[in-house]
Amino acid sequence: MTDDLLPQRLAGQVAVVTGGARGIGLGIAQRLAAEGCMVVVWDINAQTLVDSGFSAAFSAQVDVANSASVNAGVVATLEAVGRIDILVNNAGINGPVMPVWEYADEDWAKVLAVDLTGIFYCCRAVVPQMRARGYGRIVNVSSIAGKEGMAGISAYSAAKAGVIGFTKAFARELCESGVTVNAIAPVITETDLFKEMTAEHIASAKAKIPLGRFLKINEIAAMVAFIASPECSFTTGFVFDLSGGRATY
Ligand SMILES: NC(=O)c1ccc[n+]([C@@H]2O[C@H](COP(=O)([O-])OP(=O)(O)OC[C@H]3O[C@@H](n4cnc5c(N)ncnc54)[C@H](O)[C@@H]3O)[C@@H](O)[C@H]2O)c1
């Protein structure tokens, strides 16, 4: 469906998308905007923000792994656009690929800080004004690695599993508030990172997906737009699968 035919489910709402300057986050930002949302992008990389070409309602350089930076991002965003109805916690890093017995302290700490603690910081800072208004949609980006575990990326797998546990606990705390909290668990997705991967690696990743093809950014964005909309009203604490039939649980 072309963008001009999309339903305007998010008209009048404001979304913050973390890590929204490129890749999956940029795709989510573009989709939410196409559904009528005012989209605010937070990203650590100011240059990527500029290069993205996306005309956000507001953008801020925010490091999700730093609580002071997140808190400042909330203040600046509320000053600029007045409210946050939707929070998409998408910012994430992979970390080095190596076995646990070679993993360095600082690499482990960095991956956990961005991929797990960053989501906690953003949720804690954004949720008070959602609770006060009795409405909100929070979507946390986990991964198939958080469900299955993946050799070589133990910190990433642990962080993404942590995102699922955090999502379930936080959702229960908010059951009477009008705020839902859900996660998504995508498999490997067609992004620019493919250019850096070997043909063998790409082929072996594809072989694990029963649908026989890779996930596309617009498919993630479409699911996030639904979860972030008022239509997704009776689901909270859930992990939405985007695995092409791989995770049948
Ligand atoms: N690409 C995949 O195949 C895949 C699969 C499953 C899940 N995911 C998850 O989807 C999310 C997006 O992945 P992507 O492939 O688009 O990544 P990407 O590297 O292309 O983009 C990530 C964005 O996050 C920003 N970012 C990184 N650290 C940050 C920080 N500390 N604070 C704020 N912004 C920060 C980066 O500047 C970048 O703009 C991640 O959480 C990732 O783990 C990706």
- Which residue lies with its CA nearest to atom 36 of ligand 1? 19
Domains in the chain, number: 1
- Which residue lies with its CA nearest to atom 4 of ligand 1? 188
In whole angstroms, give the CA distance from residue 139 to residue 240. 10
Residue 27: CB within 6 Å of ligand 1?
Answer: no
CATH code of the domain covering residue 192: 3.40.50.720
> pLDDT tens digits for 127-150?
999 999 999 999 999 999 999 999
Residue carrying the six token digits 């469906």: 1
Q: Between 47 and 196, where is the model more confident?
A: 47
103 among known catalytic residues = no
Domain that holds residue 205: 3-240
Half-sphere exposure of 99 (CA within 13 A, CB side): 1
> What token pair was written down for 92?
């994430």
What is the predicted pLDDT for the residue at 1?
Answer: 64
What is the predicted pLDDT for the residue at 52?
Answer: 87
Q: Is residue 248 in a domain? A: no
**Which numbered atom of ligand 1 lies nearest the CA of 114?**
31
> pLDDT tens digits for 25-75?
999 999 999 999 999 999 999 898 889 899 999 999 999 999 999 999 999
- CA of residue 176 to ligand 1 center, whole Å: 31
> What pTM was estimated for this model as a whole?
0.97
